[in-house]
Amino acid sequence: SGTMTKAGMTHLFIPGPTNIPEPVRRAMNVPMQDMRASDFGELTLPLFDGLKRAFKSSTGRVFIFPSSGTGAWEAGITNTLDPGDRVLMSRFGQFSHLWVDMAERLGLEVECIDVDWGAGVPVDLYAERLAADRDGRIKAVFVTHNETATGVTSDVAAVRGALDACGHEALLFVDGVSSIASIDFRMEEWGVDLAVAGSQKGFMLPAGLSFLGVSEKALAASRTGRFRRCYFDFADMLRMNADGFFPYTPPTQLFQGLRVALDLLFDEGLEAVFLRHGRLAEGVRRGVFAWGLDLCAQEPRWYSDTVSAVRVPETVDARDVLRIAYERYRTSFGSGLSQLAGKVFRIGHLGDLNEVSCLTALACAEMALRDAGAAVEPGAGVAAAQEWYRETAEPRRQAV
Ligand code: PLP
């Protein structure tokens, strides 16, 4: 042991960046192109349409920023709100925590509800706070749709319901970084005003692009929003994007990759993509339970179909599982972040993957868990997932 062989492929089961499909990688391996050429819009304008389709929105806009997802968080806040505005947020994992932190550092007055890490957005408490806010001081309500740190998916539609129930006018702001294009997200139907996604998760691209869906209502708010802003200003983007151009040098290779990634998503069909993630995730969960272990997510309604955070036994340090998987078996899982460090490891199951990918992840996790001192039965997780995948295989495939 200790020698790292370079033979075979390395395996990436982190919840982003995800594995990049070959056609997407090839599409990005092209010469640089002129981002001021008269035909540049032929590449970019269809990307905006494709993204709107992926966000399920026929109105409003989707902006593409050359940044990671965090940049789109900042763009959303600084374009639509005023310094000192009161906003309603909740914190139940590292990413919802970082969003709260950003809102505070930008100068919003954050009403933050802390929830157990493993639970989701507290819809009932949101409903209470909104109903009590009769003079409409709350200007925006924030929802982390999929908390990547804990593997928890929250109910965005229910938050829209809470807003509507009391006729509250606040903007609805959703972090869909690890949900959009992987699990069902409906910007228009759910009345979402600002929706954030990143290129490196369900969109199967390198990090470097963020996507921000913006409703007509949020666009209107951006015309009067009093935050100082420059790089992320919607107005500059709107002016340049009209003909498919950008206010600064855009990453054209990523755009070439995005074109193909969107084609792959739409060729499979968004609904089929969501079903695939659901089925694959269920296999992983069955594997985890067959080990006798638990998820960080406390209830089935919160189980995420893009990432599972697995609680290791008390006697085991999850950091050992991660280190062993990486050093001995050339496989990466997601680490436990902040208060979950050492307590969980995360299996990312989103993007370009299938049954066998997930079985590979489970097989490696079993070895690393045992090496780290966990008494999981060899093969138990893999067997449980295999049976689920066989039972639920498409008839066309079963017939072979
Ligand atoms: N929000 C969620 C739910 C995430 O999972 C991440 C990254 O993993 C972020 C926000 C931050 O995105 P980025 O790292 O692309 O800036």
Q: pLDDT tens across 253-281, in order?
A: 999 999 999 999 999 999 999 999 999 99
Kindly tell me if the per-residue pLDDT of 188 is higher than 90: yes
Mapped onto helix, strand or coil, the DSSP state of residue 239 is: helix
Residue 377 CA to ligand 1 centre (angstroms): 34
Atom of ligand 1 nearest to the CA of 149: 5
**Which residues, including other chains, have CB under 8 Å from residue 149's CB and lie 6 or more apart?**
93, 94, 95, 117, 309, 337, 338, 340, 346
Substitution candidate for ligand 1 out of 73, 95, 199 with most atoms within 8 A of CB: 95
Q: How much is the average pLDDT of 337-356?
A: 98
Q: With a cut of 0.85, is the ipTM above it?
A: yes
Kindly tell me if the per-residue pLDDT of 7 is higher than 90: no
pLDDT value for 383: 99
Residue 123 CA to ligand 1 centre (angstroms): 22
Percent of the chain with pLDDT over 90: 96
Atom of ligand 1 nearest to the CA of 200: 15
Atom of ligand 1 nearest to the CA of 148: 5
Atom of ligand 1 nearest to the CA of 73: 10
Rounded Cα–Cα distance for residues 266 and 204 (Å): 13
Residue 133 CA to ligand 1 centre (angstroms): 30
Burial class (CB in 10 A: 0-12, 13-18, 19+), 248: exposed
Atom of ligand 1 nearest to the CA of 71: 16
Element (H, E) at 217: helix 216-224
Ligand 1 is surrounded, with C-beta below 6 A, by 16, 68-70, 95, 144, 146, 148, 175, 177-178, 198, 207
Residue 178 CA to ligand 1 centre (angstroms): 7
Which residue owns the Cα nearest ligand 1 atom 13? 69
Kindly tell me if the per-residue pLDDT of 143 is higher than 60: yes
List of domains in the chain? 22-266 (3.40.640.10), 269-398 (3.90.1150.10)
Rounded to the nearest integer, the mean pLDDT of the chain is 97
Neighbours of 99 (CB within 10 A): 24
Q: How much is the average pLDDT of 358-378?
A: 98
Q: How much is the average pLDDT of 43-51?
A: 98
Residue 34 CA to chain centroid, in angstroms?
Answer: 31
Q: How confident is the model at residue 400 (pLDDT cuts 50, 70, 90)?
A: very low
pLDDT value for 304: 99
Strands 11-13 and 331-333: parallel
Q: pLDDT tens across 88-126, in order?
A: 999 999 999 999 999 999 999 999 999 999 999 999 999
Residue 205 CA to ligand 1 centre (angstroms): 14
**Which residues, including other chains, have CB under 8 Å from residue 145's CB and lie 6 or more apart?**
153, 154, 156, 174, 175, 176, 179, 180, 185
AA identity, residue 277: H
AA identity, residue 138: I
Kindly tell me if the per-residue pLDDT of 2 is higher than 80: no
Kindly tell me if the per-residue pLDDT of 397 is higher than 70: no
Strands 138-144 and 86-91: parallel
Which residue owns the Cα nearest ligand 1 atom 12? 69
Substitution candidate for ligand 1 out of 12, 70, 142 with most atoms within 8 A of CB: 70
